[in-house]
Amino acid sequence: MTTVLEVRDLRVVFGGVTAVDGVSFSVDDGQLLGLIGPNGAGKTTVMRSITGIVRPTSGNILLDGQRVTGLPIHRRMRRGLALSQQLVRPFREMSVIENVAFAAGYRKTGNPLKSLVTFDWTQERARATELLAMVEISSYADADTGSVPLGVLKRLEVARALALDPKVLLLDEPLAGLNSNEAVTLGDTIKRLNGDGLTVVLIEHNLGEVMRICPRLVVLDNGRKIGDGPAQEVMADPDVRAAYLGTGAGGSHAAA
């Protein structure tokens, strides 16, 4: 297995508060990794450091073995990252399919001069049609984004991220705000995408779904990594249980 994404000794300090403290983990090609932890654990800050929204105080992010730490957001995305945002943010002036087709046109929008002399949307629309089918919202293709339910918009976020043909898909709480049925079906979709070979990093609060679909977990607490490994083993760890349940549920480690 080759490592696609590596977070190396990441440290993020916001005005004296250490949000992430020396976190390292790597993601292999084809893995589905759940990045979990209680509120304030630093998951979102880690995700934002990977995408470039947050500039780490120290440490590195490597994509395909190349350091991307100093690169602006858009260049990281063009190197093979894609993000499905926690709060859905479709372009309101574009229909559902246009949102995906626009993202799929990333080769045409890489350079303003090229974009000025390019008009054809045929390939991008075809690709968008495939992706909408993949996330099962084909029937909403021509709908206005203002008039479709949240569950559809969450899937639209995923389809739009997939349109960038990413090496690693980052999903920031894709299930938040969905009812349990919707969460299960979107969980299935994520699992299927991973089964097709896509590498996925999933941040999610819905622990039931995480345990159901993620073979491997990385657990953060107070900005530090406290667990990393096969999901069942990690969740059986007393430290992880203590951090998660906040009850001191743990045995010797927690007490120590």
Token pair recorded at residue 66: 């190349």
106 binds other proteins (CB under 8 A): yes
18 binds other proteins (CB under 8 A): no
103 binds other proteins (CB under 8 A): yes
In the bound state with other proteins, the residue whose beta carbon lies nearer, of 117 and 255, is 117
- Span from 11-19, 34-42, 105-113, 127-135 in contact with other proteins (CB under 8 A): 105-113
Among 9, 40, 70, 89, which residue sits at the site for other proteins (rule: CB under 8 A)?
A: 89
Residue located via tokens 């998951």: 43
Shortest spacing between CB 202 and other proteins, in angstroms: 17
In angstroms, the CA 59 to CA 245 distance is 30
Among 25, 63, 102, 228, which residue sits at the site for other proteins (rule: CB under 8 A)?
A: 102
246 binds other proteins (CB under 8 A): no
126 binds other proteins (CB under 8 A): no
Rg (CA), the chain: 19
Among 77, 128, 156, 234, which residue sits at the site for other proteins (rule: CB under 8 A)?
A: 77
Among 31, 44, 51, 206, which residue sits at the site for other proteins (rule: CB under 8 A)?
A: 51
Q: x/- contact string, 145-174, with other proteins (CB under 8 A)?
A: ---------------x---x----------
Q: Residues interacting with other proteins, by CB under 8 A?
A: 51, 72-75, 77-78, 82-83, 85, 89, 91-94, 102-103, 105-106, 108-110, 112, 114-119, 160, 164
